[in-house]
Structure 1
């Protein structure tokens, strides 16, 4: 097996493993916080909703843009994102490093019907809301993106600056 195939298999296994953290009907409301299941990442970790210090509302649209598309937070802050899909097609908000989002977008191109969910993402049906509660434990510049095929490539990306 070549390196590329091995990486693809590893990524698929990782994505399949995240099914246990699925967000229910596609918009995040069914997920329950369990501190014992929190796993740190390079851009933070799932946040405890009871410790959220503020709520940031994010709009997604069929113009393939987020509003706002730039957010600033303090290191250590737990933010509740309420994500609204004002469009007519499925959109999602996925938090991550630029490299991880790009790799995930490539995987989505190859497997467009792949179903997956994790604490750093909300899949939002048209006209619905989703939620992400995230604790930003690392300083730096991170991104959020819609990884539905073609959306990321069209520029449906925003930034989070953690100071």
Structure 2
């Protein structure tokens, strides 16, 4: 049996398997999603928006002091917002839209499974010094939340509120 040849074949097979279908970790999922079509699913806090229907852009900074700037946002019912997220820190942060209950549940799962693989159109994972965008249509009035659900960040208070007011 030729061991060096078998070892070389094994290394090539592993290399091919790892490079042909990379798994997306929680922090890398958003980058791969930009090439895919966004699945539109109605959520209590709205639905994924269309980039060509954006009414306005809101910039949101993320800091290593576990804060969003701004942490309170007001929109009108029916508005499509382009959120531009800028990570001003040195660690990965994320912006996840949802209800308080949804964010609480997701944050608890992130503590148990910090390497969770997922990507949704209401999430942006932003590396240090990077920027990411999401486009969201607020088609339901009410008070909604956003947060960084990376283990420890949510618990440290990295949260914010979105008020969606009916149009008059």
Question: Which contiguous aligned blocks of 4+ residues in structure 1 show a shift greater than 4 angstroms?
Answer: 31-34
Q: Cα offset for 1:116? A: 1.5
**Residues 44 and 84 of structure 1, relative CA distance in 2, 3 Å threshold:** same
Match of 2:14 in 1: none
Match of 1:148 in 2: 150
TM-score calculated relative to the size of structure 2: 0.78
| Whole-angstrom CA distance in 1 between matches of 2:40 and 2:66 | 31
Q: Cα offset for 1:23? A: 2.7
Match of 2:139 in 1: 137
| Whole-angstrom CA distance in 2 between matches of 1:47 and 1:120 | 10
Match of 2:89 in 1: 87
| Whole-angstrom CA distance in 1 between matches of 2:97 and 2:153 | 15
Aligned: 1:122 with 2:124: yes
| Whole-angstrom CA distance in 2 between matches of 1:47 and 1:121 | 13
| Whole-angstrom CA distance in 1 between matches of 2:164 and 2:128 | 30
Bigger radius of gyration: 2
Q: Find the partner of 2:112 among 110, 113, 119.
A: 110
**Residues 31 and 73 of structure 1, relative CA distance in 2, 3 Å threshold:** farther
Match of 1:40 in 2: 42
TM-score calculated relative to the size of structure 1: 0.81
Aligned: 1:24 with 2:24: no
Q: Cα offset for 1:31? A: 4.7
| Whole-angstrom CA distance in 2 between matches of 1:116 and 1:89 | 19
Q: Find the partner of 2:72 among 64, 70, 73.
A: 70
**Residues 45 and 57 of structure 1, relative CA distance in 2, 3 Å threshold:** same
The CA deviation string for residues 136-156 of structure 1, in whole angstroms up to 9 with x for no partner, is 010000000000000001100
SS of the residue 2:104 aligns to: helix
